[in-house]
Chain A
Amino acid sequence: DVKVTQSSRYLVKRTGEKVFLECVQDMDHENMFWYRQDPGLGLRLIYFSYDVKMKEKGDIPEGYSVSREKKERFSLILESASTNQTSMYLCASSSFLDRGGNQPQHFGDGTRLSIL
């Protein structure tokens, strides 16, 4: 089974702090994604990466950055946390090689982040 592990289930930080959310997958997947999930808004894509050191902006990248130094690890960084970044953050990964890039995404259990 695919295993996507997010480093923290719950995290509380203060406004202005730099926050790191870590995600590791064990299936050698090429693609990794960061989403935030808010009531009534569904899943919104923040950033994704299709290879080591590669990244692309999703739909809501403002206030975030990412790092992918190793294939199995994808980090989300809140440069200066703000209260409107309080949310559930979900990491996902998928394989690209099979089915012409249409492999399903597999999710971690999420990090519930509160910014005070």
Chain B
Amino acid sequence: GQQLNQSPQSMFIQEGEDVSMNCTSSSIFNTWLWYKQDPGEGPVLLIALYKAGELTSNGRLTAQFGITRKDSFLNISASIPSDVGIYFCAGQSITSGTYKYIFGTGTRLKVLA
């Protein structure tokens, strides 16, 4: 199945730093989602984006739906130790079918205190 290109694959940052990650696709998407997964748990929805250019925040997290509809970005400001985890993007395209999402391979974030 199709996969999104998510980068970086992993990152180590110092507490207090800002974090940026992104996903790109060869397909045009009409919905972008961002999830966080803690070890041993299921993914938890952070932000949902439905329009090209949309910028949405959830606390220290901000995500944007790219203008081209082929990419999305997630930023975390002033990182803290509990931000550790794997962050996934997911997109829904017209060609993927109404019910299905395509998932990125994840960005593993580690925060150094």
We find that the number of chain A residues with CB closer than 8 angstroms to chain B is 30
A-B contact count (CB 8 A): 59
A13 interfacial by beta-carbon distance below 8 Å: no
Check A40 against B105 for contact (C-beta < 8 Å). yes
Please choose the segment from A63-71, A72-80, A95-103 that sits at the chain B interface, where 4 or more of its residues have CB less than 8 A away: A95-103
Check A42 against B103 for contact (C-beta < 8 Å). yes
Check B33 against A110 for contact (C-beta < 8 Å). no
A34 interfacial by beta-carbon distance below 8 Å: no
A42 to B50, CA, bound (A): 23
Size category of the B interface is 20 to 34
B59 interfacial by beta-carbon distance below 8 Å: no
A31 to B99, CA, bound (A): 7
Q: Which of B45, B92, B105 contacts A102 (CB 8 A)?
A: B92
Check A45 against B48 for contact (C-beta < 8 Å). no
Q: Which residue of chain A has the shortest Cβ distance to B1 in the bound complex?
A: A59
Check B1 against A102 for contact (C-beta < 8 Å). no
13 A-B pairs with C-beta separation under 8 A: A9-B40, A41-B105, A42-B104, A42-B105, A44-B1, A50-B99, A94-B99, A96-B99, A102-B30, A102-B50, A105-B45, A107-B35, A107-B44
Measured CB to CB, the residues of B under 8 A from A are 1, 3, 30-31, 33, 35, 40-45, 48, 50, 88, 90, 92, 98-101, 103-106
